[in-house]
């Protein structure tokens, strides 16, 4: 389970900083500044999608981490479900950036179902 927790945190790191910055290179000087002024250029469409995918991840990551830590504390094996949650979240990120709305929604739903199933295993 520790591996999946670390992978989830790495995903959060990628989604929070690296991926949005990579799609927003035209604003790179601003990103490295004190940001006293507003961003000079609007983020690209893909940067905007990456930022929204990150916001979505931040809504469920605390739930995943709590369930993962509880499973370790209670010695309940939910590693398979944790793996599915992580796979669904990576797929969600990729399809969000690529603009595949319906598939993205199905992957999001899969990640939520994985969390619910993790919680049920702990009851």
The CATH number assigned to the domain holding 98 equals 1.20.120.550
Determine, yes or no, domain membership for 67.
yes
d(CA 15, CA 59): 13
Determine, yes or no, domain membership for 77.
yes
Give me the number of domains the chain comprises.
1
Q: Residue 30, class by beta-carbon neighbours within 10 Å (0-12 exposed, 13-18 middle, 19+ buried)?
A: middle
Determine, yes or no, domain membership for 69.
yes
pTM: 0.88
In DSSP notation, 50-84 reads: HHHHHHHHHHHHHHHHHHHHHHHHHT---HHHHHH
Assess contact for 60 and 111: CB atoms under 8 A: yes
Supply the pLDDT for residue 42: 78
The residue range of the domain holding 116 is 2-23+45-122
Give tens-digit pLDDT for 60-103. Answer: 999 999 999 999 999 999 999 999 999 999 999 999 999 999 99
Determine, yes or no, domain membership for 50.
yes
């Amino acid at each position: 389970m520790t591996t999946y927790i670390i992978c989830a945190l790495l995903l959060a790191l990628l989604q929070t900083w690296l991926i949005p910055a990579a799609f927003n290179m035209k604003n790179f000087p601003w990103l490295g500044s004190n940001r006293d002024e507003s961003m000079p250029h609007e983020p690209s469409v893909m940067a905007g999608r990456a930022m929204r995918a990150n916001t979505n991840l931040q809504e469920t990551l605390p739930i995943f981490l709590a369930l993962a830590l509880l499973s370790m504390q209670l010695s309940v094996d939910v590693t398979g479900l944790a793996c599915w949650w992580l796979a669904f979240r990576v797929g969600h990120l990729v399809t969000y950036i690529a603009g595949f709305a319906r598939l993205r929604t199905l992957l999001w739903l899969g990640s939520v179902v994985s969390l619910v199933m993790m919680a049920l295993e702990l009851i």
